[in-house]
């Protein structure tokens, strides 16, 4: 259990899906990330590869249809991976992971080629809309956005290493209904088309990647459910007197950036030393 100090004043900044997801998954990780403002000095390689894949696809979507080629996808991706920060894994492992990303782009090209139906639009488009019941805004950042006279097109891309994420998305994805709600609030236009794509990075380079698209828009009931408790969650996240109970899961060491701190606290080691050596504060270099 962590008793948060009463003196900590958490700024009520804009609320995003990443904040919401982290708080619901683990309030302690949220506290480390957004209150203590801790940032690991080294990053896991998986997010970097996913970021590079996003970048390649976004450059592709911004390009005129007749200029879209498989070479454009791969070259953009590989050039971006060369700019990534050092990874804590060894070089061979990182190269293997980058190669698996190339498999994903190959599967994407075989499945959808030039994507002629997707017109060049805006990428990383941001919308800020007021959240009912709070004085703060909700941040919606879209991978791809196109606004026409009769409505808006939204395209969301997710990369994953797990089949479970694909199955979860098919059942219910809370992020998409929120983004549809935010865009409609910001533009006043109806949803014309929605595409959700999930690209599964294969476990080994010899395996083919799995890519899927879902085109069914969320129902109004899904949208209402996705936003109905945002105000209550935000109030709970920013309470200055909250007590945080940490539940250990086997996945903590694989998916949480702050596992080393929790492990130190659990075993009685010096967590402050680990924070100094392995983490930095936002804005520090």
Angle between helices 17-25 and 230-237 (to 10 degrees): 70
Q: Which residue has the higher pLDDT, 1 or 139?
A: 139
Task: Give the pLDDT mean for 230-256.
Answer: 80
Binned at pLDDT 50, 70 and 90, residue 6 comes out as very low
pLDDT for 89 equals: 59
Over residues 148-194, the pLDDT tens digits come to: 999 999 999 988 876 655 555 555 578 899 999 999 999 999 999 99
| Percentage of the residues of the chain whose pLDDT score is greater than 90 | 38
Task: Give the pLDDT mean for 110-136.
Answer: 91
- Residue spans of beta strands (DSSP E) within the chain: 2-3, 15-16, 38-40, 125-130, 137-142, 144-148, 151-160, 191-200, 210-214, 243-244, 279-281
The Cα 130–Cα 243 span in angstroms is 28
Backbone angles phi, psi at 153, to 5 degrees: -110, 135
Over residues 54-81, the pLDDT tens digits come to: 999 999 999 999 999 999 999 999 999 8
Over residues 115-124, the pLDDT tens digits come to: 998 989 999 9
The Cα 272–Cα 126 span in angstroms is 37
Whether 241 has a pLDDT exceeding 80, the answer reads no
Q: Which of 148, 120, 114, 126 is nearest to 62 (CA)?
A: 120
Contact between residue 75 and residue 140 where contact means Cβ atoms under 8 Å apart: no
Contacts of 239 (CB under 8 A, 6+ apart): none
Contact between residue 107 and residue 211 where contact means Cβ atoms under 8 Å apart: yes
Measured CA distances, 140 to 144, 173, 193, 207, 236 (Å): 12, 15, 17, 34, 21
The Cα 136–Cα 152 span in angstroms is 25
Q: Tell me the whole-structure pTM to 2 decimals.
A: 0.85
pLDDT for 66 equals: 94
The Cα 254–Cα 216 span in angstroms is 32
Mean pLDDT: which of 13-17, 104-108, 209-213 is highest?
104-108
Q: What share of the chain is helix, strand, coil (3-state, %, to 5)?
A: 45, 20, 35
Whether 243 has a pLDDT exceeding 80, the answer reads no
Task: Give the pLDDT mean for 223-237.
Answer: 88
The Cα 281–Cα 36 span in angstroms is 8
């Amino acid at each position: 259990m962590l008793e948060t100090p009463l003196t900590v004043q958490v700024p009520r900044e804009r609320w995003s899906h990443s904040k919401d997801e982290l708080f619901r998954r683990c309030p302690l990780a949220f506290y480390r990330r957004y209150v203590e403002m801790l940032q690991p000095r080294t990053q896991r390689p998986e997010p970097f590869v996913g970021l590079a894949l996003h970048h390649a696809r976004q450059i592709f979507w911004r390009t005129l249809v007749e200029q879209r080629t498989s070479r454009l996808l791969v070259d953009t991706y590989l050039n971006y991976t060369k700019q990534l920060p050092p990874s804590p894994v060894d070089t061979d492992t990182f190269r293997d992971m980058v190669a698996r990303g190339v498999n994903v782009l190959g599967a994407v090209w075989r499945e959808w080629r030039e994507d002629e139906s997707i017109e060049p639009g805006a990428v990383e488009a941001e919308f800020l809309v007021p959240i009912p019941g709070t004085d703060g805004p909700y941040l919606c950042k879209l991978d791809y956005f196109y606004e026409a006279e009769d409505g808006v097109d939204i395209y969301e891309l997710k990369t994953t290493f797990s089949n479970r994420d694909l199955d979860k998305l098919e059942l219910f994805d809370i992020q998409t209904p929120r983004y549809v709600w935010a865009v409609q609030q910001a533009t006043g236009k109806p949803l014309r088309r929605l595409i959700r794509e999930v690209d599964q990075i294969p476990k080994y380079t010899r395996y083919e990647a799995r890519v899927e698209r879902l085109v069914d828009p969320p129902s109004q009931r899904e949208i209402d459910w996705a936003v109905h408790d945002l105000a209550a969650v935000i109030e709970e996240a920013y309470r200055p007197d909250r007590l945080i109970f940490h539940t250990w899961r086997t996945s903590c060491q694989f998916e949480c950036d702050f596992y080393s701190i929790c492990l130190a606290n659990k075993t009685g080691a010096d967590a402050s030393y680990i924070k100094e050596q392995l983490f930095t504060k936002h804005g520090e270099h």
